[in-house]
Chain A
């Protein structure tokens, strides 16, 4: 009894502590409650944690059991946060380097004032002499910078050229654009009860009968703010999983169906599912009649995709295609989670269109336990788009590749990535002179195709600023001024899942400490903005900035959010009936026809087929049989690991102990023919490039397919040119060709290339 009483009291104290955002302990140490984002990276998942700071050091990270989504759970990237924050190689003061010393480790520490005194006159000079368009801001994937690199370009610097360099914008952008055109909504996410404080127990919630992961492995990737292990919560509650994946993943072994398809043939498979569902009259007739446009055309189109024909294309047996299609159509509710494989595919717009059509005709849009739909842009997402009003129409017109690629430039406010490389190489339509790399280390195999080509082209830039936390290959090669960033433990911020396009919650990122003399993305935006475009930055402080974003929409300020910890917006289902999907308040979807466009009016206007169709990958056993004889494997890339976020974390020894090198997966039968045994170093090579990796022999992959991880560089290797931390040794993106994009400008063949594989004596 006594023991129980004590435990009860301890429990009270613990819960009291957890309700304050900052608690000072008796020994002078303190604990800060926060929601995580990045850096170090992940998408805006907002995992709840408590940061313990003692003697000016982050000593411990503990998952916060009171967080409604993560409930105390934490991944190893957050559990090793102290190692990252206090890493001896971290850069925590601004630095400059003479342009002739690019590629050399010859830096001089400077103050922020000195950094601004170099940067601000340069920007003014380029604007005056060559126009603001001569400056390009590069962004990366997933970090907090994703919210801020647009405003940094548009409103702090004043250039229309903000660039996400991944060929065909192949990450999230295509899916958001397709959704915008087909559904007129924000990002479609499975309903995982994320907006309910009581989660799965909420009476309005229905557990999905099935969830299909299409080219997606959320356990590792936590995509766009979805906490991946929510899938385990749902498995325990009876949800059946279906995997569309070239590999038998661990999740696949816990799934009802796995369609192990040939990489890049996804669209054919989606069309075959629709074929079965329509021809067997299993579709939701009420939804199709009332809310869909162009059903008859779709019905006619899918006649070209019988399960038998598609089985030949995809390697998925016809009987399985039928079974999965019937299961999807008859069990309700259910949901498809589409992954990066939709984006990294030149045929991906058609795939996305087909997947959304599947969700629509099975009646799973905006229903409990189905697919949730949010507004196209809200909160910080809305603000970052609005900052473009700083640019005159004439200047906005100069955005690289915007006119040539209207389907991309209508939904995305950036340049066209592939056109940007062309511009760097040719100086047309004008010469780019200054680069600002905001959390983008893209000569590592992350968000650029043929990074070696980008590397050569980027040398033409006269002046470069890099914002990051470590000396990366990109920074070593190009930075003239290095501006250090804090981790998410070191600066105030706000995390909004799915970048605001259908957020399940908003959380406060609370500063627990600050190592060295760093400035966060928003601090840099405000400070630089006040010097160049003060009218765009009427904020007294970071707190004031966030309060002014939060107050009009949520009625709370930043301090309220800190106290409240997280804010879950109220979710409303069937908004297409209540008129809440459209700006005019009418029922329907926010599209040209007001319906789900199974036949797309916009695609047609842009010169594309209005209906989804399958197209072979640019290089494949079918489209390039002769090349395939020389390069006899289909190469798929980029499956994620628990131990890293793209190119991050390679210097964190606890994580490198788990995943020490770039890894490629090959079937034991294929490996045996090549004399490769498990753990051998091998080279993957094709007509564009080559990449070293450690071979992992595994039956989860088809004998004709190999997979390579991405993001690799070796911080322990020499940093100076030509090594650049070994960035060219395991650079899988050198095998991915530039500008092999779809008709509308989206997609790249990062998951469906071809290559040969051979054993090598020396590794990295």
Chain B
């Protein structure tokens, strides 16, 4: 059976925290714990006007890829609410194929 995952094109992740809070709402996760959590790399200067500054949301062991929502034909709540629309849900094979068409800042999680 195919395994599902989350594809995150973090070139467009603005660090808005919507995935974190939507996930907490959906799964009733208390303060201090997360089902998905934003991580930050940078900001630092590479050279001249080139900078590194990335936000990458990382699903945790509390993530069930919104099983109940998906059963109802909806997207996982993090994907649905993402302000940068940089998250996609689906079978990992399909997502891996999509990855090849994206830039360097892309990651696939299979929680």
Which residues of A pack against B, CB within 8 Å? 7, 10-11, 14, 60-63, 65, 71-76, 79-80, 219, 228-229, 232-233, 235-236, 248, 250-254, 257-258, 642-643, 653-654, 657-658, 698-700
Contacts and interface: CB of A to CB of B under 8 A. Distances in A.
A229 B14 contact: yes
Nearest to B22: A79
A233 B31 CA distance: 32
Contacts of A79: 18, 21-22, 25, 81
Contact of A229 (B42, B52, B83): B83
B98 to A, nearest CB: 14
Nearest to A73: B83
Contact of A232 (B12, B72, B77): B12
A400 B34 CA distance: 53
A654 B49 CA distance: 35
13 contacts: A14-B73, A14-B74, A61-B25, A65-B80, A73-B85, A76-B16, A76-B17, A79-B25, A219-B14, A219-B16, A252-B51, A654-B31, A698-B43
Contacts of B74: 14
Contacts, number: 91
B18 A73 contact: yes
B84 interface: yes
Interface string B1-33: 000000000011011111011101100000110
A16 to B, nearest CB: 13
A232 B14 contact: yes
Contacts of A10: 72-73
Interface in B78-94: 80-86
Contact of A258 (B20, B49, B77, B82): B49
Interface string B48-67: 01011101000000000000
Interface centre among B52, B85, B86 (most CB of A within 10 A): B85
Nearest to B42: A253
Nearest to B69: A62
Interface residues of B, number: 34
Contacts of B17: 76, 642-643, 658
Nearest to B86: A232
B16 A657 contact: no
B83 A232 contact: yes
A76 B21 contact: yes
Contact of B18 (A11, A74, A700): A74
Contact of B84 (A229, A252, A643, A653): A229
B96 to A, nearest CB: 20
B43 A700 contact: yes
Nearest to B12: A232
Contacts of B53: 250, 253
Nearest to B70: A7
Contacts of B45: 248, 699
Contacts of B14: 219, 229, 232, 250-251
Nearest to B26: A60
Given A61-B25, A80-B21, 6 more contacts: A14-B73, A72-B81, A74-B81, A258-B49, A643-B17, A698-B43
A232 B21 contact: no
A711 B81 CA distance: 26
B57 to A, nearest CB: 13
A278 B80 CA distance: 47
Contacts of B12: 232, 235-236
Contacts of B82: 73
A60 B73 contact: no
B53 to A, nearest CB: 4
A250 B21 contact: no
B21 A654 contact: yes
A75 B43 contact: no
Contacts of B86: 232
A658 B55 CA distance: 15
Contacts of B51: 248, 252-253
A250 B42 CA distance: 10
A640 to B, nearest CB: 12
Given A236-B12, A258-B49, A75 B25 contact: no
B10 to A, nearest CB: 11
A228 B84 CA distance: 10
Nearest to A219: B14
A258 B50 CA distance: 10
A253 B73 contact: no
Nearest to A7: B73
A253 B81 contact: no
A7 B84 CA distance: 26
Contacts of A258: 49
B16 A75 contact: yes
Contacts of B81: 63, 72-74, 79
Contacts of A7: 73
A95 B73 CA distance: 47
A232 B22 contact: no
Contacts of B43: 248, 250, 253, 698-700
Contacts of B42: 253
Nearest to A13: B73
A698 B40 CA distance: 13
Contacts of A61: 25
Contact of A257 (B11, B49, B72, B84): B49
Contacts of A233: 85
A646 B22 CA distance: 22
Contacts of B72: 10
A337 B77 CA distance: 31
Contacts of B73: 7, 10-11, 14
A254 B21 contact: no
Contacts of A253: 42-43, 51-53
A630 B44 CA distance: 30
A61 B81 CA distance: 11
A75 B81 CA distance: 8
